[in-house]
Amino acid sequence: GESVGLHLPTLSVQEGDNSIINCAYSNSASDYFIWYKQESGKGPQFIIDIRSNMDKRQGQRVTVLLNKTVKHLSLQIAATQPGDSAVYFCAETFGNEKLTFGTGTRLTIIP
Amino acid sequence: KAGVTQTPRYLIKTRGQQVTLSCSPISGHRSVSWYQQTPGQGLQFLFEYFSETQRNKGNFPGRFSGRQFSNSRSEMNVSTLELGDSALYLCASSLYKGPTEAFFGQGTRLTVV
């Protein structure tokens, strides 16, 4: 079946630097994508979403980029803070159906 | 506004028993989806309910069932528990059908012994 995967399982970034978390998706028909942040012992927290008719969307300190040509999604976090340490998941859906999640990337912020 | 509330937070059950988990969505949200999270399989979709009707179901055995009430609160039930059912069960709510802007609760940690 279709799956969403991540290039790197772990990422360490110096505090204050920008971080980029990548995600590859295999269903070219996917039309909606969400990035979630999950801290230890908590449920996934909605960060930002993007529809397939867009290639970029910005939020507070976060930017999501969508490249449909290569089926690639990325999450950029500006000026990382210790509180950004968490596991980040991308999720995709087609036709407003279920979310299919990637395996997750653990982001560690180095003080 | 209150977020998605799941109860209980932690549960320990014996193999063969059954369990019921509860989810109260964000006020006004009508769609509730359930996911299972395990270290080995990651986050996997169980089912979605909208207006008291199941509109989508994942690839889980019939031991996993759910329902939604008229106030949009949802319950999921797992019968004849197996050790492999140990997981974090997450509920997400959305305003409309499907996962658009789906917000998750803290989850219920189920341990089967």
pLDDT digits (tens, 9 = 90+) for B60-92: 999 999 999 999 999 999 999 999 999 999 999
pLDDT of residue A6: 39
What's the pLDDT at B43? 93
pLDDT-based confidence at residue B100 (cuts at 50, 70, 90): confident
- Shortest Cα distance, chain A CAs vs residue B82, angstroms: 23
Rg (CA), chain B: 13
Calculate the average pLDDT of chain A. Answer: 91
* Interchain contact A3–B (C-beta under 8 A): no
Choose the closest CB to B104 out of A41, A43, A100: A43
Structure-token pair, residue A87 = 């596991």
Tell me how far apart the alpha carbons of residues B36 and B87 are, in angstroms, rounded to a whole number: 6
User: Rounded mean pLDDT of B16-45?
Assistant: 95
B38 lies within 8 A of chain A by CB? no
Q: What is the CA A93 to chain-centroid distance, rounded?
A: 14
Other Cβ atoms less than 10 A from the Cβ of B94: the count is 21
CB contact under 8 A, A49 and B100: yes
Neighbours of A56 (CB within 10 A): 11
Q: Name the residue in chain B with its Cα closest to that of A51.
A: B100
Chain A residue at shortest CA distance from B4:
A43
B58/A98 Cβ within 8 A: yes
Q: How far is B62 from chain A (nearest CA, A)?
A: 18
Q: Is A53 on the interface with B (CB under 8 A)?
A: no
Pairwise CB contact (< 8 Å): B100 & A91: no
Q: What is the pLDDT of residue B41?
A: 85
**A-B contacts at Cβ under 8 angstroms:** 60
Q: Is B99 close to A36, i.e. CB distance below 8 A?
A: no
Per-residue pLDDT, A101: 93
- Per-residue pLDDT, A87: 95
A70 pairs with which residues across the strands?
none
- Which residue in A42, A46, A89 is closest to B106 by CB distance? A42
